[in-house]
Amino acid sequence: MDFNSIIGIIIALTAVFGGQMLEGGHPGSLIQLTSFAIVLGGTLGAVLLQSPLRQFVLGMKMSRWIFVPPLLDPTGLLEHIAIWSSISRKEGLLALDTRIEGIDDPFIRKGLQLVVDGTEPLVLKQVLEVEIETFDDLHRQGARVWEAAGGYAPTIGILGAVMGLIQVMENLSDPTRLGAGIAVAFVLAMGISRVYLGAHYPSDVLGGYAAGAGWAAICVGVRGVVKHRRDLRAEAREAERSAA
Q: Could you write out the three-class secondary structure of 144-183?
A: HHHHHHHHHHHHHHHHHHHHHHHHHHCCCCCCHHHHHHHH
Residue 55 has pLDDT above 70, yes or no: yes
Q: Helix, strand, or coil here: 91? A: helix
Mean pLDDT computed over 32-43 = 82
pTM of the model: 0.58
Residue 87: CB atoms within 10 A of its CB come to 15
Report the length, in residues, of the chain: 244
Rg (CA), the chain: 31
Looking at residue 179, what is its pLDDT?
62
Residue type, 241: R
Tell me, what's the pLDDT at 176?
Answer: 60
Answer whether residue 208 is part of any domain: no
CB atoms within 10 A of CB 11: 10
DSSP 189-233: HHHHHHHHTTSS-HHHHHHHHHHHHHHHHHHHHHHHHHHHHHHHH
Q: Which pLDDT score is estimated for 158?
A: 75
- Indicate whether 109 belongs to any domain: yes
Contact assessment for residue 46 and residue 152, using Cβ atoms and an 8 Å cutoff: yes
Check if the beta carbon of residue 44 is closer than 8 Å to that of residue 51: no
Which domain does 118 fall in, by range? 32-175
> Tell me, what DSSP letter sits at residue 118?
T
Name the residue with higher pLDDT: 77 or 186: 77
pLDDT of residue 216: 82
- Return the higher-pLDDT residue of 176 and 162: 162
Q: What's the pLDDT score for residue 96? A: 79
Where are the strands (E) in 30-169, listed by range?
Answer: none
Q: CA 7, CA 11: separation in Å to the nearest integer?
A: 6
Nearest alpha carbon to residue 144 among 56, 43, 42:
56
Residue of higher predicted confidence among 100 and 59 = 59
Return the pLDDT at 167.
67
Number of domains in the chain: 1
CA-nearest of 239, 58, 203, 223 to 139 is: 58
Between helix 33-50 and helix 121-169 the angle, nearest 10°, is: 140
Q: Which pLDDT does position 241 carry in this prediction?
A: 79
pLDDT average, residue stretch 11-32:
81
Residue 219 counted as domain residue: no
In a domain, 209, yes or no: no
Structural domain contains residue 39:
yes
**If you ran DSSP here, which 8-state letter would residue 68 be given?**
S
pLDDT for position 69: 81
Is residue 202 a part of any domain in this protein? Answer: no
Q: Is 22 exposed, middle or buried (0-12, 13-18, 19+ CB in 10 A)?
A: exposed
Q: What is the pLDDT of residue 36?
A: 81
pLDDT given at position 62: 87
User: Which residues, 6+ apart, have CB-to-CB distance to 191 below 8 Å?
Assistant: 205, 208, 209
Q: Is residue 237 part of a domain?
A: no
